[in-house]
Structure 1
């Protein structure tokens, strides 16, 4: 199963007749035992986004297992995102305070209190994308990772580790 196989489901979501609760129980997703956070961010929110499909449309979704992991800050310093949106993380890193203030107030409060994001981003083991790949790649959460990089650059409080959902084959 890949993103193209799910396009009829994405179309129903686009048409507005499919909220997340109904989406997550759709028979088309029966083969996936993914956490709701991952289903929401990967498929429901981005499963038909053009650049996202360009970068991840080839993946066999049924072979990916997701675990919530603690990732050291240093690992995010140069972590890439998909080729179709290269440079987007650094775009967000240029104005980290702005990108936090346009979110609900609890997002900024969480950064100030805990030095990290409120919701874990999605990362993917690059070997899942390419057998010769090394390290992790930001699949979803480019704004969050950009804010982290920008906060580091501006010497604002950043925790030493951050929760992230990590997908591996």
Structure 2
């Protein structure tokens, strides 16, 4: 199963305007035993977003297992995102304070208190991509990773490790 196989579900979501609970219960997704956070951020929010489909449309979704992992800050320094949105992480990194202040206040407070994001981003093992490569790639959460890089550059508090959902086979 890949993103293109879910086109009818995405169309029903758009046409019917139904929420996440109904989306999650759709029979098309019964084979995916994914955490709600991943299902929401990956498929519900981005499953029909053009650049996202261009980058990840070929990925066999049914082979991915998601785990919440602790990732060292250093691993995020050069972690890429999808080719169609290359440079977007650095765009967010240029003004990390701005990107936090335009979000709900608890996000900014969480960065100040804990040096990390409030919600874990999604990373994918690059061996699942075409062409395959090594390491991890930011699938969803480019703003969060950009804020992390920008905070480091501006010498603002950043925790030594961060939680992220990681998709692997």
TM-score bracket relative to the smaller structure:
over 0.9
Cα deviation, 1:75-109, whole Å, max 9, x if unaligned, reads 00000000000000000000000000010111001
Question: Could you say if the C-alpha distance between residues 132 and 48 of structure 1 is closer, same or farther in structure 2, counting changes exceeding 3 Å?
Answer: closer
| RMSD after superposition | 1.0
109-118 or 122-131: bigger deviation: 122-131
87-96 or 129-138: bigger deviation: 129-138
Q: Which residue of 1 aligns with 2:14?
A: 14
Say if 2:112 is the partner of 1:95: no
Q: Flag structure 1 segments of 5+ consecutive residues without an equivalent.
A: none
Matches within 5 A, 1:125-164: 125-130=125-130, 132-164=132-164
Deviation at residue 163 of structure 1 after TM alignment: 0.2
Deviation at residue 117 of structure 1 after TM alignment: 0.1
Find runs of 4+ consecutive structure 1 residues off by over 6 angstroms.
Answer: none
Q: Which residue of 1 aligns with 2:107?
A: 107
Q: Which residue of 2 aligns with 1:31?
A: 31
Q: Secondary structure at the match of 2:59?
A: coil
Separation in 2, partners of 1:56, 1:137: 11
Separation in 2, partners of 1:130, 1:7: 21
Q: Which residue of 1 aligns with 2:71?
A: 71
Say if 2:109 is the partner of 1:81: no
Separation in 2, partners of 1:160, 1:127: 26
Q: Secondary structure at the match of 2:9?
A: helix
Q: Secondary structure at the match of 1:165?
A: strand
| TM-score of the superposed pair, with normalisation by structure 2 | 0.98
Q: Flag structure 2 segments of 5+ consecutive residues without an equivalent.
A: none
Deviation at residue 67 of structure 1 after TM alignment: 0.2
Task: Report the number of matched residues.
Answer: 169
Deviation at residue 15 of structure 1 after TM alignment: 2.3
Separation in 1, partners of 2:158, 2:142: 16
Deviation at residue 13 of structure 1 after TM alignment: 1.5
